[in-house]
Amino acid sequence: MSNLTAQLHWWKGAVIYQIYPRSFQDTTNNGVGDLKGIIKRLDYIKALGVDAVWISPFFKSPMKDFGYDISDYRDIDPLFGSLADFDELIEQAHQRDIKIVIDQVLSHTSDQHPWFIESREDQTNDKADWYVWADANEDGSPPNNWLSIFGGCAWQWEPRRCQYYLHNFLTQQPDLNFHNEDVRKAVLDNVEFWLARGVDGFRLDAINFCYHDKELRDNPAKPKHLRQGRGFSEDNPYAFQYHYFNNTQPENLAFMQAIRSLMDKYPGAVTLGEISSEDSLATMSEYTSGGDKLHMGYSFELLTKDYSPSYIRNTVETLESQMTEGWPCWAFSNHDVERVASRWSKDGVVNTEQVKMLHALLATLRGSVCMYQGEELGLGEAEISFEQLQDPYGITFWPNFKGRDGCRTPLPWENESAFGGFSQSETWLPVVEAHKAIAINKQLADNNSPLIHCQQFLAWRKEVDVLLYGDITFTQSDESILAFERSYNGKTLCCYFNLSAESQPLTLTGKVLKANHFDNATLNSFGYVIAER
């Protein structure tokens, strides 16, 4: 790969560090993180060894869904800072050779966005067709059976228009009508605003939700034994349907091409689409096919409870068999699901050696990597009481589902500070004692800590082309061991991971390049080994 090609394709094999800005670093001491906090900690990010940061939304918003309900796509919410702060962040990050990827929430806006405020007034205004509006049935009921991910009906009555509007998420997040050409143009203009400002790419939130079925056909029922929660509660009625008509429509492919055409005007800029459909792996393949749509896609397939070698192998092999042209991106955690250190642990008890093994496994799969803030520390899910909840999702489904607050608590920088070095005042979510006990300052001083392990592994990986660009072939997946080979330019690496707490026999040939808890012919509890054949 030439230097120019490598620069333009920096995202291939990249490690992207997700920052949830509310909980990263507070510099104004209002208990909420901000853009200056990210600037303050860029040296930490650089030392971690990642290639880019993905920053969750920081745009103007009523914060009903903590920034994923945008009221102004071209300005910063004062809670997080200003456009000048963002420009400084871009400059400071680029000086450290760190790329900046930002969230774009295209499928819906806040109900406080000027577009919606105008659209809801009547059925004849200039923005009347910018959102998904529909008449009631004769009995006054909603136009169809579509459900919101956050619980209940996906339609909300608007008395000004005497119509329902569609919201796939909160009622305060009305869906835009992408069948309208003016909407598509306005959305792309907003995207280009940030490209012109110097961002290196976009994580496209719920990108398969942009289009809806124009005929508003009912979604069919899903049999009980097939109802699985991927990123949402399994007792959520949303799982009771096949979502064939409220998202992932064929018209969306042309919009993906329009996004790519815009991105191609800014060489090196990248798109990473979040995809959650009835067959997310197939949709990822479709949305990254042909070299004229998204650069990368990721889904919730490895954000589930299933941690078995066979499940991981089947998931990756299924995508590999379908995604013959695109590029995958894998994640074990994000801001919407229980932290992996708890989710894949035994009885929710975090095991630091398992955390290290998961660092290595995530960074060894073929594709790019999304690593969520705190994952490098092995943070477990924080225990949050009902009185402390902020997430409307958790409040609605408590106590069966506690929402997303447990993975969104502030990052613990210092173990002895009252608020973990995150802030000097009461924080929007608590800094829990279990997290302060493994704070960043403590881990940096401990050569055996998950943080040091993560830094060292990512630094090594950056020098191994086989791991960055190579093919993947699975060779073993039993109840304990996940094994695969990575091959590139005539070199082959054999990778073995013990996903169990029990030692496993392992006969290995070749030169060991990287290992943890591997002793002669035994791969010990949560050990791994990578060898060159």
| SS3 at position 348 | coil
Alpha helices in 387-444 (DSSP H): 392-397, 433-436, 440-444
230, pLDDT greater than 60: no
Residues 6+ apart with CB under 8 A from 134: 142, 143, 155, 163, 164, 165, 166, 216
The one catalytic residue among 51, 103, 175, 205: 205
Q: DSSP class of residue 218?
A: P
- Segment 235-283, tens digit of pLDDT: 789 999 999 999 999 999 999 999 999 999 999 999 999 999 999 999 9
Measured in whole angstroms, the distance separating CA 225 from the mean position of its chain's CA atoms is 27
Structural domains of the chain in order of their starting residue, each with its CATH number: 3-108+181-377 (3.20.20.80), 471-532 (2.60.40.1180)
| SS3 at position 281 | helix
The one catalytic residue among 51, 274, 301, 336: 274
| Distance between start and end Cα atoms, the chain | 23
189, pLDDT greater than 60: yes
Q: Average of pLDDT values for 488-515? A: 95
- Segment 312-370, tens digit of pLDDT: 999 999 999 999 889 999 999 999 999 999 999 988 899 999 999 999 999 999 999 99
285, pLDDT greater than 70: yes
Q: Average of pLDDT values for 38-48? A: 98
The whole-number pLDDT of residue 2 equals 62
Q: DSSP class of residue 221?
A: B
284, pLDDT greater than 70: yes
The whole-number pLDDT of residue 4 equals 67
The answer to whether 75 is a known catalytic residue is no
Q: In this structure, what token pair is assigned to residue 377?
A: 């520390």
Q: Average of pLDDT values for 296-310? A: 94
As a whole number of angstroms, the distance between CA 27 and CA 133 comes to 42
Q: What share of the chain is helix, strand, coil (3-state, %, to 5)?
A: 30, 20, 50
The whole-number pLDDT of residue 356 equals 98
The whole-number pLDDT of residue 476 equals 84
Kindly report the length of the chain.
533
What does pTM read for this prediction? 0.96
Q: Average of pLDDT values for 376-382? A: 98
Q: In this structure, what token pair is assigned to residue 345?
A: 């642990």
Would you place residue 123 in the very low, low, confident or very high pLDDT band (cuts 50, 70, 90)? Answer: very high
As a whole number of angstroms, the distance between CA 233 and CA 236 comes to 5
| Percent share of the chain, pLDDT over 90 | 91
Cα distances from 397 to residues 170, 335, 348, 453, in angstroms, run: 14, 17, 20, 37
The answer to whether 205 is a known catalytic residue is yes
- Segment 405-441, tens digit of pLDDT: 999 999 999 999 999 999 999 999 999 999 999 999 9
- Segment 147-168, tens digit of pLDDT: 999 989 999 999 999 999 999 9
**Amino acid at the residue 395:** I
Measured in whole angstroms, the distance separating CA 259 from the mean position of its chain's CA atoms is 19
Q: Average of pLDDT values for 61-67? A: 97
234, pLDDT greater than 70: no
**Amino acid at the residue 391:** D
Backbone angles phi, psi at 15, to 5 degrees: -105, 120
Backbone angles phi, psi at 116, to 5 degrees: -75, -40
Q: In this structure, what token pair is assigned to residue 370?
A: 């999304």
120, pLDDT greater than 70: yes
Instruction: Establish how many alpha carbons lie within 13 A of residue 60's alpha carbon, considering only the half-sphere containing its beta carbon.
Output: 11
Q: In this structure, what token pair is assigned to residue 154?
A: 């996906």
Angle between helices 280-287 and 252-263 (to 10 degrees): 50
The whole-number pLDDT of residue 6 equals 74
Farthest-apart Cα atoms in the chain, separation: 76
Would you place residue 1 in the very low, low, confident or very high pLDDT band (cuts 50, 70, 90)? Answer: low
Q: In this structure, how many other beta carbons lie within 10 angstroms of the beta carbon of residue 311?
A: 16
**Amino acid at the residue 257:** Q
The whole-number pLDDT of residue 227 equals 85
CB burial class (10 A; 0-12, 13-18, 19+) of residue 201? buried
**Amino acid at the residue 76:** I
The answer to whether the CB of 498 falls within 8 A of the CB of 504 is yes
Tell me the pLDDT of the chain averaged across its residues. 96
As a whole number of angstroms, the distance between CA 456 and CA 47 comes to 10
310, pLDDT greater than 60: yes
As a whole number of angstroms, the distance between CA 408 and CA 397 comes to 17
| DSSP bridge pairs for 54 | 18, 101
Go through 425-447 and write b for each residue having 16 or more CB atoms within 10 A of its CB, e for each that does not. eebbbbbbeebbebbbebbeeee
As a whole number of angstroms, the distance between CA 143 and CA 152 comes to 14
CB burial class (10 A; 0-12, 13-18, 19+) of residue 163? buried
